[in-house]
Amino acid sequence: MKEDSIIKIFRTRIASTALQTFRDKKMVDEVKSKDGLVSELYSLFTGLESKYNLLNNEQLVKILNDDLSALLQSKVSKESITFIGNLAALDNNDTLISLENCMATLLEIFHAKVSNVGSKENINYFAYCHIEYMVFSVYGLYCNETKEHQSESFLEKIAERPLHGFFDTFILEDNLVKSFVDGIVPLEILKQNRDFAYADTANRYLDEISRKTDDEIIDNLDSFLTSSGILPINDIFYILSRNLLKQKKLGLWISFIMKMEIPVLQNELLFAIDDYTVFEQIVDYILQNNCKTPHIKIVLALLRKRWLDCLIENTKNIKDSVNIKDINDDEKTYIEKANSEWEAMLEKGISIFVQQNLKVFSPTAFSKWCLKKSIFDNSRKTTQSVANNIVIAGVWDCLLQHVCWKDLDTSNSDYRFILFCISSCLKEGKVAEEKLLELSKDMETAIGRDDFIWSMNLDETSLKEMRCWLNLISLLNKRYPLELLDRNLTIWEGYNTTPLKGIYKQQRRECFVMSTLALLFEKDDYFENDKEKSILFKQIARCIIKQCHCCVFERDIQQYYYQPLLILELVANQILTDVKDWYNLLLLKELDDFRVLLRILTDGNAVLTEESNRMLAVRKSHEWMYIKSTMEDLAQTKREIPFYEEKMVKLGI
């Protein structure tokens, strides 16, 4: 349904809301400089109205194709057609066909029986949309002059097939808007949606909302927007929302959105906004006028959500446009210019987004909300993931500039929020060790929560996050790393073993701590000398090997202990080469899982001594035959046999 609504008013094959701003502004500015052209188009619409009453369907059926073409050629001069053609890089003949198509589109909206008016198939579609915008924006100006067009029935007809440019110039009278808003019954609109149409679903939804405070609704906002974006509400609602914002009638717009009452309906109106600067204007208006309307905070939370989505969508759209292959040189130049301007504006746009929302929400609440957004991993190379990562990373960086860690409440906070607090704290410089210890304990709590998610990969994001905590750990006393490791070990033996019910959560936490501490050897300034570094390295290595030996689940060794052991292998090869041979011998003698051993040595690019090579060959002769026969019993593990055989070839055994 949205495809035909006002929010999709920009209908080109590029379909970019980011480009819309640049292209339409250029078109309007150039047309405004041609008073004669505007007058001719006015005259054209007057001719259509006088001969065929556009608001009367019975008259419209009498329109003939020849009449339309003749009227167009008599009202619009050759000079104007040439001017339009130059704007859109078309010749006069194609320009005339485009104008005829625009007129036909207008008449189709009013059910006119016009056929074979011309075809835009052979016309550059990018250019055709320029002409369409120009014609219908002038038609919007024309409709402002007559009261007949200030009616709900007229809007309903326009809404059937929106005219690109029309609602940028057409101004709805306040009385019409107020009359329409007064007649809104939110519950009836909600029931039109199939998700709320059955039994008493809509009433139950309202009851659930009524039992919650504004803060509770905001904290779980997404759960109240499950049908957002697919609600079949009348297109007039989108038209009113867009039109009022275009005219900067913000007070009337706020009355309109508050009348909708229900979050899922209020959110639907925000889909009419694709210009991020509009959100700034709305929030400014609410703050400056000190709006005390009940539940206004929920609307501000909805604005915050749509504002961020809009920044991401516009970035994605312009990236999509840049990647289009089948465009001419003029289009390519225009898109590249638009892309440059958008990139220049984006940093400022993100800064405004952060600063405005910090005026509305507390630093803790807003920071937590922003930090719940995800950065996609590098395996996703779509324009959506690229745009998402650009904007979200920009928001996080901007938060660091505008939020002080002293204003943040770290109690009961998740992993990403604590990481942010640590980054903010370390940025300040000298901080009391007491506070650093408190933040590190908060991190231990956060990585033990159910919502802690970690990829367990050595990708850029994971390394950045581990190093962030490591920067704090390196400022604490020298006993702290081993104390931290001891507190977070999975207990496999004895009376106080880790319950199987929570084993997954504990192992994930243990793996993160081990991997973080394994990176500590990157920080030369933390150690007084290489001897101190070697001693700590050996202590951590023996501890991890012991955990592998005690672990009762074979798959868990591969999943949770492989990574910290691999990091230590990389450290031994690249940073602490004095322990390289010692570490490889330790793995060969004490690491029980032969497959994990193969992965560590090959992935870590280990250089083995002759003694180590002999030991590895002996282990292969004693173990691989039995491991292979076991793997062959299951199809899942059978597929992995060539993987390990390739690693043995690489190691020369």
Q: Which residue do the tokens 């994930």 mark? A: 508
- CA dihedral defined by 569, 575, 578, 580, rounded to 10 degrees? 10
User: Which pLDDT score, from 0 to 100, does residue 578 have?
Assistant: 93
**Whether 387 contacts 312, CB under 8 Å:** yes
Give the Cα separation of 442 and 420 in Å (integer): 12
Q: Which residue in 323, 332, 399 sits closest to 368, CA to CA?
A: 399
User: Which pLDDT score, from 0 to 100, does residue 440 have?
Assistant: 95
User: Which pLDDT score, from 0 to 100, does residue 301 have?
Assistant: 97
User: Which pLDDT score, from 0 to 100, does residue 4 have?
Assistant: 33
Q: Could you tell me the CA-to-CA distances from 175 to 149, 179, 257, 623 in Å, in that order?
A: 13, 6, 17, 86
Give the Cα separation of 140 and 144 in Å (integer): 6
Q: Which residue intervals of 275-328 are DSSP H helices? A: 276-288, 296-322
> What tokens were used for 361?
């929400």
Q: How many CA atoms lie within 13 A of 65 on its CB side?
A: 7
> What tokens were used for 609?
């001594």
**Whether 562 contacts 511, CB under 8 Å:** no
User: Which pLDDT score, from 0 to 100, does residue 5 have?
Assistant: 29
Give the Cα separation of 304 and 286 in Å (integer): 13
> What tokens were used for 466?
């581990």
Q: Which residue do the tokens 């709006």 mark? A: 291
Burial of 175 by CB count in 10 Å (0-12 exposed, 13-18 middle, 19+ buried)?
Answer: exposed
User: Which pLDDT score, from 0 to 100, does residue 23 have?
Assistant: 60
Work out the angle between the directed axes of helices 562-574 and 594-603 (0-180°, nearest 10): 40
Element (H, E) at 223: none
Q: Which residue type is seen at 182? A: D
**Whether 274 contacts 243, CB under 8 Å:** no
User: Which pLDDT score, from 0 to 100, does residue 21 have?
Assistant: 54
Q: Which residue in 298, 258, 265, 256 sits closest to 193, CA to CA?
A: 265
Residue segments in the chain with a per-residue pLDDT below the cut of 70: 1-28, 32, 57-62, 113-122, 126, 227-232, 326-328, 330-331, 378, 380
DSSP state of 623: I
User: Which pLDDT score, from 0 to 100, does residue 14 have?
Assistant: 35
- CA dihedral defined by 557, 560, 563, 565, rounded to 10 degrees? -50
**Whether 233 contacts 189, CB under 8 Å:** yes
Q: Could you tell me the CA-to-CA distances from 19 to 3, 275, 346, 377 in Å, in that order?
A: 18, 11, 14, 28
